[in-house]
Amino acid sequence: MKIGTRGVLAVIGLSAVACKTEAPGKQTPPDAAAASPLSPEEQLVRVSMALRGMRPSPDDMAWVVDDPSSIRMLAEEYAASEAFVATTEDLFAEVLRMRSIDLALPAKVERDDVVLADLGTSQEVRDALSEESLRIVGEVVRQDLPLTEIVTADWTVLDEVGAEIWASHDYDASVGGIQQVSYTDGRPTAGILVAGSFLLRHESNGGNYNRGRASVLSETFLCDSYAERDIPIEGDLSSPEAVAEAVDHNPACVSCHQSVDPLAAAFSPFRQRLPFNQVNQAYAAGCVDLNANQSCYPVLMYGGPEYHNLWEAMELRPPGYFGADADGLQDIGDHIASDPRFSSCMARRFAAYLTQTSLGDVPAEKVAELQYVLVDNDMNARALAVAVVTDPDFLAASVATDEGLRPTELQIVRPEQLDRMVEDLTGLRLLVALGPDAGDVPLLTNDLLGFRAMSGGIDGETVPLPTHLPTPTKLLTMALVAEEAAGHVVDHDLSASSGERTLLMSVDDSTTDEAAVRSELAHLHARILGMPVSDNSVDVDDALVLWQAVADIDGPVLAWKTVVAAMLQSPEVLYY
Q: Where are the chain's structural domains?
A: 5-24+412-574, 36-80+340-409, 99-338
By C-alpha distance, which of 323, 280, 466 is closest to 332? 323
58-92: b (≥16 Cβ within 10 Å) or e: bebbebbeeeeebbeebbebbbbeebbbbbbbbbb
What pLDDT was estimated at residue 554? 96
d(Cα 215, Cα 382) in Å, to the nearest integer? 27
The CA-to-CA distance between both ends of the chain, in Å, stands at: 38
d(Cα 382, Cα 76) in Å, to the nearest integer? 8
Question: Is there a contact between 416 and 90 (Cβ–Cβ < 8 Å)?
Answer: yes
Q: For residue 399, what is the enclosing H or E element?
A: strand 398-401
DSSP assignments along 403-449, one per residue: TEEEEPPPPB--HHHHHHHHHHHHS---EEE--TTT-EEESTT-SSS
pLDDT per residue rounded down to tens, the chain (576 residues): 233 333 333 333 433 333 333 444 444 444 444 568 899 999 999 999 999 999 999 999 999 999 999 999 999 999 999 999 999 999 999 999 999 988 999 999 998 889 999 999 999 999 999 999 999 999 999 999 999 999 999 999 999 999 999 999 999 999 999 999 999 999 999 999 999 999 999 999 878 899 999 999 999 999 998 877 766 666 666 666 666 666 665 666 666 778 899 999 999 999 999 999 999 999 988 887 655 458 999 999 999 999 999 999 888 899 999 999 999 999 999 999 999 999 999 999 999 999 999 999 999 999 999 999 999 999 999 999 999 999 999 999 987 777 777 778 899 999 999 999 999 999 999 999 988 888 999 999 999 889 999 999 999 999 999 999 999 999 999 999 999 999 999 999 999 998 999 999 999 999 999 999 999 999 999 999 999 999 999 999 999 999 999 999 999 999 999 999 999 999 999 999
Using the 8-state DSSP alphabet, how is residue 239 labeled?
Answer: S
Q: How many CB atoms lie within 10 A of CB 537?
A: 17
By C-alpha distance, which of 513, 495, 512, 484 is closest to 504? 495
What pLDDT was estimated at residue 414? 98
pTM (global) more than 0.85: yes
What pLDDT was estimated at residue 426? 98
